[in-house]
Amino acid sequence: MPPTPFRTRAAVLAGRTASAASRLTGRGEGLVVGGKVILKVSPGAMRDLAGDRVAALVSATNGKTSTTRLLATAVGQTGPVVTQETGANMTDGVLSALAYGHPRGQAVLEVDEAYLPLILPDTRPRALLLGNLTRDQLDRMNEVAMVARKWRTMLESCPERTTVVANCDDPIVTWAARSAPRVLWVSAGQNWTADASVCLECGGLLRFGGVEGWRCTSCGQQRPEPAWRFQIDDGRFTAVGPDRRRFDLSDLALPGWFNAANATLALAAATDVLGLDARTSVQRMATVTAVSGRYEVRTIGALDVRLLLAKNPASWSELLTVMPPAPAPVIITINANDADGRDPSWLWDVPFEKLRGRTVIATGDRRRDLAVRLLHAGVDHVVIEDPYAPGVELPASARDLEVIDCAATYTAFHGLRTRADARTDPQTRRRKVRRAATRVVS
């Protein structure tokens, strides 16, 4: 690797200083400000810092943080890995990760869907993982088709060394990825089809189901033949490779079929693009327990809560499936700040009916929207402004649970993490995480 140009080295130093100042003044990690300073001093810093060491970029509406962590953990079998620890996935966050991480480490980076076209040309990853595109924060004009068009244009001039690893069960992702010269198709599942009614090629209607997965009733476009498949056989999660080799993914510490599907995408990239050993990759991925606080058990007030994050109707729909069965009560926290999306109408796209037979504690800034949604779903609920406050009256069934699930929108989730009792003994926490995980599987 050629030495990093002086200008960029000076820029990184300036960025570090800015980040440190931001941390000292209590304004957070300082990654965003650090990234901004680096680019100001050396506009070509992204290309310089990336060099040839970016193994993979990961983008999707849902699952990009988890997929990135899974792949980064697999890539760790060959040496140091550079990745985001905080989920900062726009230009500044990606740049900070490259600037402050191990200087020769291979990079596995998560990238925001809208920022991907800006970041791909400078980072030239060996693998580009594309998971799914679904509705997300519609108040920001993130219409799904618009993002897909940007991706398609981006991939028409895809870097030469990049292989796209794309989920072909998502017709929107498939349409975008088809313009890339090298694509490894992975059938990684997609239960949420509500944003893929219309074929982006011709405006015709798409049909789902059958062995072909999906096809357009008008122009005949259909799911490409996948090289890798994610399957659920007798309740066990399996990845099947191109040579029909099977990998059992049921022992992942991360819960839910969607995390096993994320692991399939990561496994396909790790073995077929990065040339890593498949068994070792699976073993390493199985050790990932919590991802940026997701699925972590924390103590907040008098409760031990397992923190779950969901950001849009597709991810909420999947998250409901990892909650313990009724009648176990759960806490649901809904905010509508900028990062959550200002319009919580999406609550009506989530099948909360699945929570019938238990009491839901509705909280967060928009707890009243949630209460009305639950009323219409026929789900028993109580509205509590702060269920963690001392002396607050909770349903008895909530107090009796050893660990209660709390699902939250983005800013609510981060608020809870900040609030979580920092003194939680790590030993206890690990034990509880294991217990929560077992409970989900059984």
Partner 1 sequence: MPSANSEQVTIVSIYPALLGTYGDAGNVLALRHRAALHGLEARIIEVAAGEPIPAQGDLYVLGGGEDSAQTAAARGISADGNLASAAAGGAAVLAICAGYQLLGEYFPDATGQPATGLGMIDIRTDRLPRRAVGELAAESLIPGLPRLTGYENHGGATHLGAEVQPLARVLAGVGNGDGTEGAVAGHILGTYLHGPGLARNPALADLLLGWCIGRELEPIEEPDVEALREERLRTVLGEAWNRPA
- Other Cβ atoms closer than 10 A to 23: 15
| Both structure tokens of 412 | 């609510």
48 counts as binding partner 1 under rule CB under 8 A: no
Rounded to a whole number of angstroms, the minimum distance from the CB of residue 120 to partner 1 is 25
Choose the stretch contacting partner 1; rule: CB under 8 A; options: 43-51, 139-147, 178-186, 403-411.
Answer: 139-147
Q: How far is the CB of 194 from partner 1 (least distance, A)?
A: 6
Question: Which of these segments, 111-119, 299-307, 368-376, 385-393, binds partner 1 (CB under 8 A)?
Answer: 368-376
Of the listed pieces 152-160, 225-233, 367-375, 427-435, which binds partner 1 according to CB under 8 A? 367-375
Phi-psi region of 46 (alpha: psi -120 to 50; beta: other; left: phi over 0): alpha
- What residues between 194 and 233 interact with partner 1 by CB under 8 A? 194-195, 197-198, 200, 203-205, 217
Rounded CA gap, 79 and 105, in Å?
A: 7
Q: Which of residues 261-300 bind partner 1 (CB under 8 A)?
A: none
Selected range binding partner 1 among 92-100, 132-140, 181-189, 417-425, rule: CB under 8 A: 132-140
Which of 48/369 has CB closer to partner 1? 369
Work out the widest C-alpha separation in the chain, in whole angstroms.
Answer: 64
Q: Pick from 342, 399, 419, 431 the residue near partner 1 by CB under 8 A.
A: 342
Judged on CB neighbours under 10 Å (0-12, 13-18, 19+), 244 is: exposed
Omega before residue 327 within 30° of 0, cis = yes
- Total residue count of the chain as it appears in this document: 442
Sign, CA dihedral 54-154-30-131, equals: negative
- Cα–Cα dist 192/169, whole Å: 10
Of 383, 386, 431, 434, which lies in the binding site for partner 1, with binding defined by CB under 8 A?
383
Sheet with 297-300: list strands edge to edge: 297-300, 303-309, 404-408, 330-333, 360-363, 381-383
SS3 3: coil
To the nearest whole angstrom, how small is the minimum distance from the Cβ of residue 380 to partner 1? Answer: 12
Task: Tell whether residue 139 is a contact of partner 1 (CB under 8 A).
Answer: yes
In angstroms, give the least distance from the CB of 350 to partner 1.
9
**347 near partner 1 (CB under 8 A):** yes
Span from 138-146, 173-181, 228-236, 265-273 in contact with partner 1 (CB under 8 A): 138-146
- Contact call for residues 281 and 74 (beta carbons, < 8 A): yes
User: Which chain residues interact with partner 1 by CB under 8 A?
Assistant: 135, 138-139, 141, 143-145, 193-195, 197-198, 200, 203-205, 217, 342-343, 345-349, 368-369, 371-373, 375-377, 383
